[in-house]
Structure 1
């Protein structure tokens, strides 16, 4: 089981950003090596946990920093820029904390938030393979005395490999979904490191198997009800995905600048001595830079509207936040893929050599942006503005 480390206290948005920037500098150093060799970031995650950043979304009344969603997204983007996998690992941790905020009892909030502030990590066991749609669930929750038993198998369980608790979506005998915060050391629970995606290689997004796993009733929260009324749970999950893609885009962009300045040769028709003076290179980089700035701006705007929706969750405020997040998700998807491709187009053949590891940016973006299809985000945005139709209340739009 992963070791719990005492976490440093973080008390403000400003402090969270300072800590994230310092960590990003450290995590960037061996990110290409970890990707190439698929070296699990165990030491880095321990450092990440001790930093206190895993607790920054805990509300102030429970001892956390209660940072804005603008800050939370920036923190995730900074870590993802340093290492795309490290940026994704806490995504479902923050998501689970939002479900806890929205649906947990005061006693559950006090206890589970306290664990996080002490340095514990939450993973996830939500998605399943082989169901009719990506959102169908078959993992069962059955009564057993004062508690429950869980049976089923999950995949895409990002972070479970590194977690002390694994929030798990389960369906009871009435077909109602709940979220069980299952301790990692539970008997009958197996975490299998079988993630083989060609990008985001060290996220630990493999399988979790539940063989008659016991869970206390105190560790089970309502889940389905978070999507039967207006809550910010869905857009909160989505803004974190947008932040991950934004960070990956920045990483590719910065590596493109560095490679072109230091290694790329000018094209013969450019009539310039340096690749950095090639007019067509400048045009392409300028276009990418503008899109990256737009991505940053839409991510920040989405965070602001999500803050408003958390403060006052109505059908209108949650819809506005969801659409703003969908816009950020759409542009961050396209910009991260564009940045990974433009890097090679402008840097040239040398940039493809394995020792540089620059292909990881496109691979990371391509794998992560498949989380849910961007084409449906444009549909939701168009339907909202043209037909005044609010998006569906769920985790993905």
Structure 2
């Protein structure tokens, strides 16, 4: 162990070794306990690592060593065999210790599952098996709002991806990358998802992620330069007819990818907010002083009425948000359990599930930002020291909650409640 390595932190090799020797958990409860162990490790020096802003190589290795990257994998391929209701909780737990790493785990699990939703059964079996056997961590150059990744046919049974993506979460530290682009030369804008090895000349990272929050998520831009992919790896396309089996936004089951992703976001928002309250609690119970000029003065900050009331309010709101998030996670779980094999979900069922997810997005966005900002009111001026790092929770939430405007989720929910309209699938619904 290096003299600079702090025992028990993410850079301590013995931490990784212990997980590898223990093997994968075999029950939902054990998986969540494993996520908690990872979260505890990350929380030890999360503020320091956020301040340094280094590429999270060791952090991603921790996710791989712990087995969390395999959580959704089929058991027959030595995966964890868990469903999304457990995956969402695991994401939330990890984000509670470190928001950036919770986000990386969340995106990896989404990209791992994408082929299961939009690909063929053969593709799902083949690609998931390969990813699990190689213990790959997945990044993704997927940003439908930036439709600047073009796909053309080369005449030799291959597709060629070229273009630029402004955001590419986790790509720099990934083993493989999910690409998404628009096929050229057809009457409609047909999107194609695929998977490619990350380390190749045609994938060129800009290393320009310099935002105020999610500093370790490696979400910078990437240039894609003539990356070749066989037609057989175009998720959900018939390699013989070269036609989509199901256009993603027009088929209810394929479009269930979008609420699945949106609930991933809400769970790491919730984890970050819970982490903020954890850290604030540590500070208030050990550092914060009672205010001596308010009348009916208290000896300890923990006896102050307004501090107790504020913590009580935040605890209640986050507890309610967790219950809502768990209920929505069960809705996603049940949708895939009921319709994953036949892919026969109705537009109505898909839309109702999407509105459960939208409800969580609204609640976790507003509650998370309120908690991450409000903790300073109950910790005091000294907690704003940069070395304390309490601000990282608000910064993380503020950055990612701008992913897509929550006001549109509120409008969507209003139309659902007032007019009984389920939402039309979009790339953000």
TM normalised by structure 1 equals 0.93
Question: Cα distance 1:106–1:11, how it changes in 2: closer, same or farther (>3 A)?
Answer: farther
User: In structure 2, how many angstroms separate the alpha carbons of the residues matched to 1:26 and 1:207?
Assistant: 29
2:138·2:178 contact (CA, 8 Å) conserved in 1? yes
Asked if residue 299 in structure 1 is aligned to residue 325 in structure 2, the reply is yes
Residue in structure 2 matched with residue 261 of structure 1 by the alignment: 285
Aligned mates of 1:30, 1:217 — CA distance in 2: 45
Aligned with 2:418 (options 364, 371, 386): 386
Partner of 2:151: 141
Deviations 1:17-64, CA, capped at 9 Å, x for gaps: 121111111111111111101022211211211222112112446543
Counterpart among 265, 274, 291 of residue 241 in structure 1: 265
> In the TM superposition, what whole-angstrom CA distance separates every residue of 1:293-349 from its partner, at most 9, and x where no partner exists?
111011001001111221232222211211111111111111211111111111110
Deviations 1:255-295 (A, max 9, x none): 11111111111122151111111111111111111110111
Partner of 1:272: 298
Q: What is the TM-score of this pair, normalised by structure 2?
A: 0.86
Alpha-carbon offset, residue 82 of structure 1: 0.6
Q: Alignment partner for residue 170 of structure 1, among 181, 201, 206? A: 181
Instruction: Kindly tell me the number of residue pairs found equivalent between the two proteins.
Output: 387
Tell me the residue number matched to 1:130: none
Equivalent-residue separation in structure 2 for 1:67 and 1:239 (angstroms): 16
1:123 equivalent in structure 2: 139
The residue that corresponds to 1:154 in the other structure is 165
Structure 2 residue 398 is matched with structure 1 residue 366:
yes
Aligned residue for 1:371, secondary structure, equals coil
**Alpha-carbon shift at residue 98 of structure 1 (Å):** 2.8
Partner of 1:33 in structure 2?
48
DSSP 3-state at the match of 1:213: strand
Q: Residues 209-248 of structure 1 correspond to what in structure 2 (within 5 A)?
A: 209-222=223-236, 225-231=247-253, 232-248=256-272
| 1:295-374 matched pairs, under 5 angstroms | 295-311=321-337, 312=339, 313-374=345-406
The secondary structure found in structure 1 opposite 2:72 is coil
In the other structure, the counterpart of 1:103 is: 118
Is the deviation greater in 195-204 or in 34-43?
34-43
Partner of 1:184: 198
Q: Which entry has the higher C-alpha Rg, 1 or 2?
A: 2
Change in Cα spacing, 1:126 to 1:74, as seen in structure 2 (3 Å) is same
Report the secondary structure of 2:422's partner residue. coil
Measure, in 2, the Cα distance between the counterparts of 1:154 and 1:37.
Answer: 25
2:214·2:396 contact (CA, 8 Å) conserved in 1? Answer: yes
Whether the 8 Å CA contact 2:182–2:192 is kept in 1: the answer is yes
SS of the residue 1:203 aligns to: coil
Q: Following the alignment from structure 1 to structure 2, what is the Cα–Cα distance between the partners of residues 183 and 278? A: 56
Deviates more, 1:30-39 or 1:268-277: 268-277
Is the CA contact 1:168–1:181 (under 8 Å) kept in the aligned structure 2?
yes
Q: Which moved more, 1:238-247 or 1:332-341?
A: 332-341
* Other-structure match for 2:14: none
Unaligned 5+ runs, structure 1: 128-133
Change (3 A) 1:60 1:321: farther
Q: Is the 8 A contact 1:102 1:226 kept in 2?
A: no
